[in-house]
Amino acid sequence: MPRWWRTLTQVLCETLPTAQADILRQRLHGFDEPVALRVVHLWHADVVMPLLCEAVPEHRQALLDLQSLHRRAALGLRARLGEWRATLKPVLLALYRRAYAYDAAYAQAHASAMTYGQAPANVAMIAEHFGDAEAFAVYYAQLNTEANATAFAQAHASANAETSARAFAADDAQAYAHVCGASTRVYARACAQTDEQRRVLFNDLAEGLNRSLATLQSHSTGERHE
């Protein structure tokens, strides 16, 4: 069993009931490693990208561009490193930005600013420049949270895009193993807002991965499904 497959299925099974997780693992029997990343590409093209298009329609064109690369790769037509890198980066930037825990970070920054603004030593300065502590807290929380969210998205998207691009361009399953777990979690964070929604999404992704594997296995053996 390839390392990336173990990592990916572990992530997908994290929130599934035991029975469903066991079924997913049982379907690994007969996995054909020579087509390892073709499964990944087919899964992204037919399952992941449609889900992301529905969740973040404002980035639909960038997602469709990435879907096209995955479709080609699923057929054995790999794109070059630069093309993967250029296509992955804007998608991952949008997903990591959406996945950032903005509300929690904003609330923490706001509370910290309120404490600072209401301190006796700062009241006069805050009143002069902002009017009151609440106005200062809103200003600070927005500025701080936006900066942190942007930095978070840029750092993670850059690292993920580079690793993924190199893995896909070279058809390197070992390299993909380093990023598949993080990629799958960011899909879930970007598409689902609650734990229950993420559980449903992981189930959908797992079932989709099973279908992708079955499709490639049937093609490799010449089977046809009506």
pLDDT 10s digits, 133-169: 999 999 999 999 999 999 999 999 999 999 999 999 9
**For 96-110, what is the mean pLDDT?**
96
**For 30-47, what is the mean pLDDT?**
79
Single-letter amino acid, residue 126: I
Q: Is 19 domain-assigned?
A: yes
Contact 224, 36 (CB under 8 A): no
With the C-alpha atoms ordered 55, 58, 64, 69, is the resulting torsion angle positive or negative?
negative
User: 78: pLDDT confidence band, cut at 50, 70 and 90?
Assistant: confident
Distance from C-alpha of 200 to C-alpha of 207, rounded to nearest angstrom: 11
Which distant-in-sequence residues (6+ apart) come within 8 Å of 7 by Cβ?
A: 177, 180, 181
Which distant-in-sequence residues (6+ apart) come within 8 Å of 43 by Cβ?
A: 208, 209, 212
Q: Is 44 domain-assigned?
A: yes
- pLDDT over 90 percentage in the chain: 67
Q: Is 172 domain-assigned?
A: yes
Domain count, the chain: 1
**For 20-47, what is the mean pLDDT?**
75
Q: Is 202 domain-assigned?
A: yes
Residue 161: closest CA among 183, 132, 146: 183
Distance from C-alpha of 202 to C-alpha of 16, rounded to nearest angstrom: 8
- pLDDT over 70 percentage in the chain: 90
Domain hosting residue 173, numbered range: 3-221
pLDDT over 50 at 224, yes or no: no
pLDDT over 70 at 207, yes or no: yes
User: pLDDT: is 5 or 97 the higher one?
Assistant: 97
Q: Is 199 domain-assigned?
A: yes
Q: Is 226 domain-assigned?
A: no
Single-letter amino acid, residue 118: Q
Contact 105, 148 (CB under 8 A): yes
Q: Is 54 domain-assigned?
A: yes
Distance from C-alpha of 193 to C-alpha of 226, rounded to nearest angstrom: 37
